[in-house]
Amino acid sequence: MLKLAVLGAQTMLGRELVKVLEDRDASVLPLSAGPLTVEQEESDIVVFAPDPALLEGLDLVIVVADPAVPELLATFPGRILDLRDNAPESLEPMPLAGVWPSDHRALRGRQALELVLALLPTLVHGFGEVAGTHLRSVACLGDLGLNGLMEQTVAILKGDEPEIETLGYRAAFEVVPQMGRGALIEVRVPVFHGDLLILHLKAEEGRSLETQPAPLGVKWAEHPPTSREVAVSPELLAHLSTGADRQTGILTLGFDPVLWGVLRPLLRVLDL
């Protein structure tokens, strides 16, 4: 049985990881990243204060939040999986397929968007140019985003001006485009969970757009998925609509950044 700790178990992602891993062949130690609020202490998961002594004999530590004591893992001899957004770039990213590579003690996670884009060649053949829009939910910000959106919504419904310092922008009842990244633009939308990636495909010269059998973790849908459908699905939902000559098409991909973007690849890489 795999023995591991989740460092940051008081966060949204940490709680999800603990619940999922406890249902697998794993012994899970939930650790806080630091002091807890009263609400966190009264949650449905008992979380322990981080202590180097608690890490003795463990195979793996999954880091989802910055530890209050940075040197906590300095002498830990086991494997480390860093799922923080600010994980060191020097760490090798999790493999796109297969289990944990034996020649790496520490790995960092991959962004869900990166995993989705890596799947494109296995979903549709014959495309050349790709551009699109990523409709991103506040779930990407974890508890900060969920609580911030809720608090802003309550303030607006009461007729008050919402506080924007926490999130850095007004999230409630707003659709906020971010700066474009190449051929993709990110738009933050006021939903709690469920991301949509809407891609405009153009076929290579002499070819046409053809769908392929859905790989593991992907399901072809009969209609473009909604964020609600995505939020409750452990699979990536895909839909392709093409022109009459199949030279152009709109590929809609829906995925939950936690259920599909973190939990599924985590279980794969840990072989659980």
Domains defined for the chain, CATH in brackets = 2-109 (3.40.50.720), 114-256 (3.30.360.10)
Burial class (CB in 10 A: 0-12, 13-18, 19+), 201: buried
Token pair in block for residue 10: 């008081």
Residue 186, Cβ neighbours under 10 Å: how many?
18
Question: Tokens 């991103």 correspond to what residue?
Answer: 136
With vertex at residue 24, the alpha carbon angle to CA 195 and CA 15, rounded to the nearest 5 degrees, is 50
CA 251 to chain centroid, in Å, comes to 20
At 169 the pLDDT is 86
At 43 the pLDDT is 64
Phi, psi of 32 (to 5 degrees): -80, 160
Instruction: Map residue 260 onto helix, strand or coil.
Output: helix
At 40 the pLDDT is 59
Residue of 138, 5, 144 whose CA lies nearest to 83: 5
Question: Tokens 């919504």 correspond to what residue?
Answer: 153
Q: Which residues of the chain have pLDDT under 70?
A: 36-44
Exposure on the CB side of residue 222, measured as CA atoms within 13 A: 0
At 171 the pLDDT is 87
Residue of 184, 186, 155 whose CA lies nearest to 170: 155
Token pair in block for residue 270: 């840990």
Residue of 232, 238, 219, 239 whose CA lies nearest to 258: 232
Quick: pLDDT tens for 55-105: 999 999 999 998 888 788 888 999 999 999 889 999 999 999 999 999 999
At 41 the pLDDT is 55
Burial 225-260 (b: 16+ CB within 10 A, else e): bebeebbebebbbbbbebeeeebbbebbbbbbbbbb
